[in-house]
Structure 1
Amino acid sequence: MPEIRPTAAAGELPPVPDHLTIPQFMLDSGYVDTLRPKRPGHGPFLIDDASGRKVSLDELRDRTQALANVLSSVYSIGEEDVVLVFSRNHLDYPVVLWATHRLGGIVSPANPDFNHSELEYQLKATQAKLLIIHPEAVEAATTAAKTFGLPTDRILVLDVDNVKPPKSLVNINSLIKKGSEMKPVPERILKPGEGKTKLALLSFSSGTTGRPKAVAIPHTSLIANVLQVATHSRLQDESIKWEDRRYRPGDVCIGVLPLYHIYGLVFNLHFMLYCSIDLVIVPKFNFEAMLKSVVRHRITHLIIVPPQAILLCKHPAMKKYKLDTVRTIMTGAAPLSDEVNQMLFKLFPDAHIGQGYGMTETCTVVSLWPITRKRGQSGSAGELIPGVIARVLKPDGTLGGYNEIGELMVKVPSAALAYYNNPQATKETFIDGWVRTGDEVRITPDGELWIVDRLKEIMKVRGFQVAPSELEGTLLDHPDVSDVCVVGIPDDYSGEVPLAFVVLSADAAARVKKTPAALEDARASIINHIRDNKIAYKHLAGGVEFMESIPKTASGKLLRRVLRDKAKELRKGSTTTRAKL
């Protein structure tokens, strides 16, 4: 049975420690390895974008222990208890994660732009015992917590300058101050091999279909992925000239990717700190503000998604800023077009520029552009990184070799264990140690991975997963909708955006027949229904099209591919509504 492995040039993965928690590995494990770059002093630092405040690893270690003391003694957080973090990027985001891990607890990061119903769904799915929030999220958090049955005294709020939360909520800084005066609580010590099964994260993904599911990620998976990328990147290879090394101690990376997302959490936070690279924490993305941050902090590394790359190429504000410090640009979460790649290459002629591929289910990175080339090949997702074994499952069920097209299946040391409390979805995706990605690919003999198409139904909007079935379920709650199918349509900025094909209910159809103008009222009402119930990137930016009936198979399955083709025909020569970041 053909198995495709990384080329020898990708490097050999060293033994992955399976007895360490994530904070032990990052802060104080004493794990001696040849990969981690050494840096004198207290670096790397987390840096607050607005104020410039620096937090060293020593301070992060102290704050983590202090918060762990309080979470244990006051809130009784311990083995397998879930702490849900509902916040924008913040200097104390890793402190909350690592303090929970110190106690044997599990962290579930949530999108801070969720409305109360979306947050309530995640609270129920994880059965969270504690909710830690950004002060801007108070209204949604308290509403969701009340419905879920979580008392207000189980909601803690992160400290943000000039934003005052209600006095009824306890702030994290006061707890850390209290905890620093307490006797340190014992940390969770893992037995050899336990790190492979001891849960650290419940990160949400739509998988290959359906509503978002909690991906159960153990400690060793995140540690393994950091070491995989470090090996691929040849961090300590002295045969590479200093100016040609991709990740160097003392470099400065922008932390604009949301830390609740697996890409931001693993690669942007943990890997960059592992590389002894300073990380500038940006709470919320604004393009021109990001350009100012690049200049102010002398940013060397941009870890971004395709819509941000497009802005780098096309936004008029680029003319106002000199970005000569930038030496590495990585994009992920969705493919980047050849046109944008070429524009980036021209704008940053001396920078390392390339793409990567990964999933929440693989605890992020599966492939990256080769360290031996500054520029990744346009359209390529890079080469398989050390530790990855790939299969290409052809439509006829046989396994393909090089340059044959089929669904990508991977076996990786960073794989998640399962979908939490969802055995059916687990059975469909996690198969005998392999992860079915739902992506149609081909792999060339030089180890390069090329994404051909997505077999799964999930759309990628600005790098975020959107499940058509989730939107369809919401739309069927609208009184004017009797049947619906949602598809993604191409969009230059967002990659793709949702479009809904709708069959009107009998009452709505009668109104339209009597008053044709009522059709546009129905369209607006349907679009607003999603806007009122879903986060912004799930809005129907592709619009609504009305049909007499939705095409289906004899067994009743939606013929989504037929409607995707129809949507492309309808949109030829027109421009979709562009959602804004």
Structure 2
Amino acid sequence: MNLSDQLTVTAKKNLTKTALYFQGKETSYQELEGAVTKFASSLKKLGFQKGDHIALVVGNTPHFVIGLYGALRLGVTVIPINPIYTPDELSYIINNGDVKGIITLDMLLEKFEKMAEDLPKVEHYIIAETNPEVPFGHSSLSPKLKSFTQLVQEGELDFERPYLDDDDVAVILYTSGTTGKPKGAMLTHKNLYSNAKDVGTYLGITPDDRVIATLPMFHVFCLTVALNAPLMSGGTVLVVPKFSPETIFKLTREQQATVFAGVPTMYNYLLQYPEGKSSDFESIRLCVSGGASMPVALLENFEKKFNCQISEGYGLSESSPVTCFNPLDRPRKAGSIGTSIIHVENKVVDENGEEVPVGEVGELIVRGPNVMKGYYKMPEETAATLKDGWLYTGDMARVDEDGYFYIVDRKKDLILVGGYNVYPREVEEVLYSHPKVAEAAVVGVPDPDTGEAVAAFVVSKDESLTEEELIAYCKEHLAKYKIPSSISFMEELPKNTTGKILRRHLKEKIKQ
């Protein structure tokens, strides 16, 4: 079984039920299934074959869903890309990924026109129209241009599907590339199907659920948790193009949303929103957090205000992505990423790959049907990350006696102060617990005496907060070597499109 075939099965059981809700328009399962099949048949007429690569450069719209599932139905490998990437970032991924065609928005056409000479392998540009009043026919790319809407309208329903093997590559997700160039994680049909199915089961997603998809769909967290899992279960996906607290609260009230998935910064924005009321989230039965560690103070304050439980989980692109979630049938442990989801194994190991005792810190490694095939055209990086069937995550973690895992920090973010290990998250938790702190991030900076020192960056809720006050607060809660040597106040912390704080940008700020 794969995502495309499962959609067909789900659609047959829920023909008239709403699959997607987007800006006031509902798309039933029958309509979605038909559009997916027609799009797949039109791709075949254009010359796309099983094994070809197509880039999906659109935001959160029905175009993304139809484009994704339509390509998968034909056996075409999909490469989702962030639409706001620069031409250099786009060119690298499209060329490295051997992309034959690009699905993108009409508003991005001008950007691709300027890039055309740098993309010699691209044969087709499929334009998803957001403004039907603006024609795109008069373009330097005209011979290669196709209308997304037209391809769906002119496609055929009696399309014969190719055989898809479980190990065929379904999606290539390019990691954010915090070091060097982005790497393309090859996720198979089995990887994506198993993780969506297991996440849906673990979180108890049913046809009654109405799941908010405001995380970027090109990111694997949204792709699996807020799109694939509910579509497999017959639920409704509430598609949100851009996150804002006002939009989320309004949508939740009007559409009676039941599940919200977000990263910690989204929860922080919702919590800080002045007009936000507990009644705004009355219909929500479950909040899911991932993408980065959630400070315990933020989690507890959010749950107290909105009276809903947050299940924090963990994952990464290379594991499709989810490996852990806080279980819903047992007590949730604040600060923990939870326990291994069904069919997935997690363990904490030392430098030699040996499991460490309960409570000790080591590297988190993962094994299961969700673990990637490897990195596209990068055998050495694949060999360094996949060892004896285990995926080495690069995240430092510990596990307690009940099997709950705790992320301590990224291996590469560890700060070494005079020979002592300092994990940024531990310092950040203390900063977040101060009542005047809205956001905080910690990085290591060079120090002539101790090798490295702790530098903190803070967004304050109160202008009266001073560096001296915060350092005094840290002295009450942290060992001397963990106390920040400096605290810089910022209006906002630099983040990527999923809301993850970019520590490397903060380090660069220090160098300036």
Q: Which of the five TM-score ranges fits, normalised by the shorter chain?
A: 0.7 to 0.9
User: Could you tell me whether the CA contact under 8 Å between 2:442 and 2:454 is conserved in 1?
Assistant: no
Alpha-carbon distance in structure 2 between the residues aligned to 1:495 and 1:86 = 32
User: Could you tell me whether the CA contact under 8 Å between 2:443 and 2:455 is conserved in 1?
Assistant: no
CA displacement at 1:25 relative to structure 2? 2.2
User: Could you tell me whether the CA contact under 8 Å between 1:292 and 1:321 is conserved in 2?
Assistant: no
Q: Does 1:105 pair with 2:63? A: no
Query: Counterpart amino acid of 1:359?
Result: L
Q: Does 1:24 pair with 2:5? A: yes
Alpha-carbon distance in structure 2 between the residues aligned to 1:334 and 1:186 = 42
Q: Tell me the equivalent position of 2:462.
A: none
- After superposition, give the CA deviation of every residue in 1:258-302 in whole Å (9 maximum; x if it has no partner): 110000111110001223221111112223222222222121211
Report the CA distance shift for 1:171/1:41 in structure 2 as closer, same or farther (over 3 A).
closer
User: Could you tell me whether the CA contact under 8 Å between 2:348 and 2:397 is conserved in 1?
Assistant: yes
Report the CA distance shift for 1:289/1:571 in structure 2 as closer, same or farther (over 3 A).
farther
User: Could you tell me whether the CA contact under 8 Å between 2:323 and 2:346 is conserved in 1?
Assistant: no
Residue correspondence of structure 1 range 191-206 to structure 2 within 5 A: 194-195=165-166, 197-206=167-176
Alpha-carbon distance in structure 1 between the residues aligned to 2:104 and 2:451 = 43
Q: Does 1:225 pair with 2:210? A: no
Q: Tell me the equivalent position of 1:435.
A: 391
Q: Does 1:368 pair with 2:325? A: yes
Q: Tell me the equivalent position of 2:90.
A: 119
SS of 2:338 mapped into structure 1: strand
CA displacement at 1:100 relative to structure 2? 1.2
Q: Does 1:421 pair with 2:377? A: yes
Report the CA distance shift for 1:310/1:136 in structure 2 as closer, same or farther (over 3 A).
same
User: Could you tell me whether the CA contact under 8 Å between 2:3 and 2:232 is conserved in 1?
Assistant: no
- After superposition, give the CA deviation of every residue in 1:342-364 in whole Å (9 maximum; x if it has no partner): 11111222x23220100110111
Q: Tell me the equivalent position of 1:508.
A: none
Q: Does 1:306 pair with 2:264? A: yes
SS of 1:402 mapped into structure 2: coil
- After superposition, give the CA deviation of every residue in 1:351-401 in whole Å (9 maximum; x if it has no partner): 23220100110111101111214x632110011111122232124653213
Using the TM superposition, name which of 91-100 and 336-345 deviates more: 91-100
Alpha-carbon distance in structure 2 between the residues aligned to 1:565 and 1:166 = 52
Task: Give the alignment partner of residue 43 of structure 1, picking from 14, 17, 31.
Answer: 17
Residue correspondence of structure 1 range 155-554 to structure 2 within 5 A: 155-161=125-131, 164=134, 166-167=136-137, 168=142, 169-180=145-156, 184-190=158-164, 194-195=165-166, 197-206=167-176, 209-233=179-203, 235=204, 247-319=205-277, 322-349=280-307, 351-373=308-330, 376-395=332-351, 398-456=354-412, 496=441
Query: Counterpart amino acid of 2:40?
Result: A
Task: Give the alignment partner of residue 110 of structure 2, picking from 130, 139, 147.
Answer: 139
SS of 1:89 mapped into structure 2: coil
Query: Counterpart amino acid of 1:403?
Result: G
Determine what percentage of the aligned residue pairs are the same residue.
Answer: 25
Q: Does 1:70 pair with 2:70? A: no
SS of 2:90 mapped into structure 1: helix
Report the CA distance shift for 1:137/1:145 in structure 2 as closer, same or farther (over 3 A).
same
Alpha-carbon distance in structure 2 between the residues aligned to 1:45 and 1:157 = 23
Alpha-carbon distance in structure 2 between the residues aligned to 1:370 and 1:442 = 18
Query: Counterpart amino acid of 1:367?
Result: C
User: Could you tell me whether the CA contact under 8 Å between 1:208 and 1:457 is conserved in 2?
Assistant: no
Alpha-carbon distance in structure 2 between the residues aligned to 1:458 and 1:143 = 41
Alpha-carbon distance in structure 2 between the residues aligned to 1:579 and 1:394 = 32
- After superposition, give the CA deviation of every residue in 1:115-152 in whole Å (9 maximum; x if it has no partner): 1111111111101000000223223333333322256x
Alpha-carbon distance in structure 1 between the residues aligned to 2:440 and 2:119 = 35
Using the TM superposition, name which of 433-442 and 376-385 deviates more: 376-385
Q: Tell me the equivalent position of 1:55.
A: 27
Alpha-carbon distance in structure 2 between the residues aligned to 1:128 and 1:109 = 11
Q: Tell me the equivalent position of 2:493.
A: 578
User: Could you tell me whether the CA contact under 8 Å between 1:68 and 1:100 is conserved in 2?
Assistant: yes
Alpha-carbon distance in structure 2 between the residues aligned to 1:391 and 1:163 = 55
Alpha-carbon distance in structure 1 between the residues aligned to 2:79 and 2:440 = 27
User: Could you tell me whether the CA contact under 8 Å between 1:295 and 1:322 is conserved in 2?
Assistant: yes
User: Could you tell me whether the CA contact under 8 Å between 2:319 and 2:370 is conserved in 1?
Assistant: yes
SS of 2:114 mapped into structure 1: helix
CA displacement at 1:113 relative to structure 2? 1.0
Alpha-carbon distance in structure 2 between the residues aligned to 1:124 and 1:494 = 38
SS of 1:426 mapped into structure 2: helix
- After superposition, give the CA deviation of every residue in 1:13-63 in whole Å (9 maximum; x if it has no partner): xxxxxxx33201232389xxxxxxx97653252111x2x211122111111
Using the TM superposition, name which of 109-118 and 400-409 deviates more: 400-409
SS of 2:266 mapped into structure 1: helix
Q: Tell me the equivalent position of 1:471.
A: none
Alpha-carbon distance in structure 2 between the residues aligned to 1:326 and 1:85 = 31
Using the TM superposition, name which of 277-286 and 120-129 deviates more: 277-286
- After superposition, give the CA deviation of every residue in 1:207-229 in whole Å (9 maximum; x if it has no partner): 78432110001000111112222
Q: Tell me the equivalent position of 2:454.
A: 565
User: Could you tell me whether the CA contact under 8 Å between 1:87 and 1:112 is conserved in 2?
Assistant: yes
Query: Counterpart amino acid of 1:230?
Result: G
Alpha-carbon distance in structure 1 between the residues aligned to 2:364 and 2:201 = 23
Alpha-carbon distance in structure 2 between the residues aligned to 1:84 and 1:21 = 20
Q: Tell me the equivalent position of 1:8.
A: none
Alpha-carbon distance in structure 2 between the residues aligned to 1:295 and 1:267 = 21
**Structure 2 unaligned residues grouped into runs of 5+:** 416-423, 433-437, 458-483, 500-512
CA displacement at 1:439 relative to structure 2? 0.7
Higher relative contact order (CA 8 A, sep 6+): 1
Q: Tell me the equivalent position of 2:503.
A: none
- TM value normalised by structure 2: 0.80
Report the CA distance shift for 1:285/1:136 in structure 2 as closer, same or farther (over 3 A).
farther
Q: Tell me the equivalent position of 2:475.
A: none
User: Could you tell me whether the CA contact under 8 Å between 2:175 and 2:317 is conserved in 1?
Assistant: yes
Alpha-carbon distance in structure 2 between the residues aligned to 1:436 and 1:576 = 36
Report the CA distance shift for 1:567/1:579 in structure 2 as closer, same or farther (over 3 A).
closer
SS of 2:275 mapped into structure 1: helix
SS of 2:62 mapped into structure 1: coil
CA displacement at 1:206 relative to structure 2? 4.4
User: Could you tell me whether the CA contact under 8 Å between 1:382 and 1:448 is conserved in 2?
Assistant: yes
- After superposition, give the CA deviation of every residue in 1:137-169 in whole Å (9 maximum; x if it has no partner): 223333333322256x71111132467352244
User: Could you tell me whether the CA contact under 8 Å between 2:413 and 2:443 is conserved in 1?
Assistant: no
SS of 1:386 mapped into structure 2: coil
Q: RMSD of the alignment, in Å?
A: 3.1
Alpha-carbon distance in structure 1 between the residues aligned to 2:86 and 2:133 = 20
Task: Give the alignment partner of residue 90 of structure 1, picking from 61, 67, 73.
Answer: 61
